[in-house]
Structure 1
Amino acid sequence: MLVEVLLHTRIDGLGAEGDLVKVKSGYAHNFLLPKRMATIATMATKHHIELLRKRRAEREAAEFQAAQELASRLQKLKLVFTLASGSEEQEKVFGAVTAQNIADRLKDEGIELDRKKIRMDRPLKELRAYSLSIDLHPDVTAQLSVELVPPAEKAKGKEAKAKGETRKKSSPRKAKSSAASDREDHSADASE
């Protein structure tokens, strides 16, 4: 047996406040009514529907505005994560960045966000820049820039190695030129 009830709060999978829905009698009498989440729909409660719909519209407008402001903040933000990596030849990364890591970093930035709103197919494991979508509202999606970088000493080591290779390439020339100048000095000594 179905009963028509007026919802006072949003219930996922059922409806939002102000909606008239039909539910099973047991669900209404054992769950919705005792928790004051709904009332039985009668002629007297029909006028209450308009008040609830007005509140709902105001709440949804405020949520939409807040989501747009948060989206603009997130699009200006760039998160940088430092991950340990293996040898310089392999570029193997130890660890990964998950949605929970991103949510924690956003919390440090002063932005409270549920990790389930961050769209990620799998954890981030490559040292590069990413652009992630974040669902803030059914009508608002933000883009967040995330970059994974190696530790600072690895980056310095790569720069030093690159400089060392250029020095090594130039140092054999110096050795040859100094050896040639030594021979010239000895030949000049021998001629005197």
Structure 2
Amino acid sequence: MRLILNADVPNLGEPGDIVDVKDGYGRNYLLPRKLAVVATRGAEKQVEQIRRAQRSRAIRDLGHAQEVAGQLAELNVVVEAKAASDAGRLFGSVTPTDVVDAVRAAGGPTLDKRSVDVPKQIKTIGKHAVTVRLHPEVTSELQLAVVAR
């Protein structure tokens, strides 16, 4: 199955790449998650547009990624959870979207939610570590403080 990638897929390619994958992987993983579209003649003409859009949002180079990692290390990021029990357990969990919104609210750079790795579900109040992939060679660990409203 020929697909055009919309996002960076580890061990497969970057946005705009035309790849051949097995039918099941494409139908069951890449297409439902909107990581790729079927490569038709019309879609292949839009490859350059996809690449331009990704470049405008992406980290420019290694130096820029290291600069953003420095900014993230200095931030005091607080995620406000909707509700929590008396024991400190959340009614829900902290998602990558919540992390991106909290970084932006703390005055940090705009991140892509797909670059944020929440190691396990964050379901308690307190301090937690989250990994942010800024560049293939640069990752940054971000400390979150989760509090109840």
Name the TM tier (shorter chain): 0.5 to 0.7
1:107 counterpart = 2:122: no
- The 3-state SS of whatever aligns with 1:93 is strand
CA drift at 1:94: 2.3
Structure 2's unaligned 5+ residue stretches are: 1-14, 20-38, 49-58
Distance 1:73 1:86, change over 3 A: same
**Matched residue, 1:179:** none
Offset, 1:68:
0.8
For residues 72 and 47 of structure 2, the distance between their equivalents in structure 1, rounded to whole angstroms, comes to: 37
Larger Rg: 1
- Name the amino acid aligned to 2:80: T
Corresponding residue for residue 94 of structure 2 = 97
- Percent identity, aligned pairs only, is 24
Pairing partner for 1:81 from 79, 82, 86: 79
Q: Does 1:128 align with 2:133?
A: no
Relative to total residues, which structure has the larger helix share, 1 or 2?
1
> Which structure exhibits the higher relative contact order, with contacts defined as CA atoms closer than 8 Å and separated by 6 or more residues?
2
RMSD: 2.9
**Normalising by structure 1, what TM-score?**
0.45
Q: Distance in 2 between matches of 1:148 and 1:29?
A: 47
Number of the residue aligned with 1:118:
116
Contact 2:16 2:47 in 1 (8 A): no
In structure 1, the partner of 2:146 is 148
| Residue type at the aligned position of 2:126 | R
- Structure 1 match to 2:24: none
Distance 1:124 1:11, change over 3 A: same
Kindly provide the amino acid, as one letter, of the partner of residue 118 in structure 2.
M
SS of the equivalent of 1:134 reads: strand
**TM norm structure 2:** 0.56
Q: Is the Cα–Cα contact under 8 Å of residues 127 and 146 in structure 2 kept in the other structure?
A: yes
Three-state SS of the structure 1 residue aligned to 2:61 is: helix
How does 1:1-192 map onto structure 2 within 5 Å?
Answer: 11-12=16-17, 32=44, 34=45, 37=48, 62-83=60-81, 84-87=83-86, 90-108=87-105, 109-151=107-149
Q: For residue 95 of structure 1, what is the amino acid of its counterpart? A: G
Determine the C-alpha separation between the residues in 1 that align with 2:47 and 2:124: 50
Aligned-pair CA distance for 1:125: 0.9
1:80 partner SS:
strand
Structure 1, unaligned runs of 5 or more: 1-9, 15-26, 38-60, 152-192
In the alignment, residue 105 of structure 1 is paired with which amino acid?
A
Match of residue 162 from structure 1: none
Paired with 2:101 and 2:67, the residues of 1 have a C-alpha distance of: 20
